[in-house]
Copies of this chain bind each other. A is one copy, B any other.
């Protein structure tokens, strides 16, 4: 069980009327808090404390029909969700460009690569080539991991070579960086960025 420094447990909030938690199922979404909400709080913490400026991009939407009523705000009457060609989060830390995607899985044995699509991998490769700091935050097996984009590319290429469509649990534990969940910031991924890219032994 994960505990916040204040002793508050990070366990699922069992709400009245919800299904009982299935044994062995330990996805982030079952904890009553979402990965996205925790990252938003983390980014807000970084922002107000002057640590980093990272925002989630708006959901891409294809607008088809807009109504402009007199004397009131425009209403979008028809629109569709579009697949993003980039990642969801980006921003700046100590002048450097930061770019990442966050994903979660309910699987207890591996992280499925179908969580990413080719366009996003392409984008991450472009960012890496341009010297940006690129990674993914993966919530799996009851923990949250920081996986460098270069490591993700390895598993992505392997999928193309031998067809294995996921990252095994032990592989993620070995190549990813386990992030201890805190109270504030909740998911301190900048700490990993600092260690990997800014400390003396880095790069």
Contacts and interface: CB of A to CB of B under 8 A. Distances in A.
Nearest to A73: B80
Interface residues of A, number: 41
A130 B61 contact: no
Interface string A123-150: 1001101111000000000000000000
Given A92-B97, A93-B130, A95-B96, A123 B61 contact: no
Interface in A72-86: 73-82, 84-86
Contact of A95 (B61, B75, B91, B131): B131
A40 interface: no
B129 A50 contact: yes
Interface string A15-36: 0000000000000000000000
